[in-house]
Amino acid sequence: MVVFAITMASLGIAQSSSLAPDVSKGKGSAASIFAILDRKSKIDSSNNWGMTIENVKGEIEFHHVSFKYPSRPNVQIFNDLCLTIDHGKLT
């Protein structure tokens, strides 16, 4: 009975130690995310200086937009995209 208990305990320890690399990756990823969340913005939202847009229609237009990620230049994401989103519309 004691041998069985020791065998089962060592099996559990061996299985949990195989997760150690994943746990360390998770800790590193969490640290990166928290560093991004904790950084101070370069834009001061309480400051009133800068350009104020007077005539805002509330619509968004894209004209002839093409896009590829720099890391995957062979994959075209947008090719000559034209899109208009009217104000008050949900897409």
List, for residues 31-81, the tens digit of each pLDDT value.
999 999 999 888 877 887 777 777 777 888 999 999 999 999 999 999 999
CA 27 to CA 33: how far, in whole Å?
A: 10
Q: Are the C-beta atoms of residues 78 and 70 closer than 8 Å to each other?
A: no
pLDDT at residue 62, rounded to an integer: 94
CA 25 to CA 70: how far, in whole Å?
A: 25
Q: Where are the domains of the chain?
A: 1-39, 54-91
Identity of the residue numbered 61: E
pLDDT at residue 74, rounded to an integer: 95
| Count of CA atoms in the C-beta half-sphere (13 A) of 85 | 8
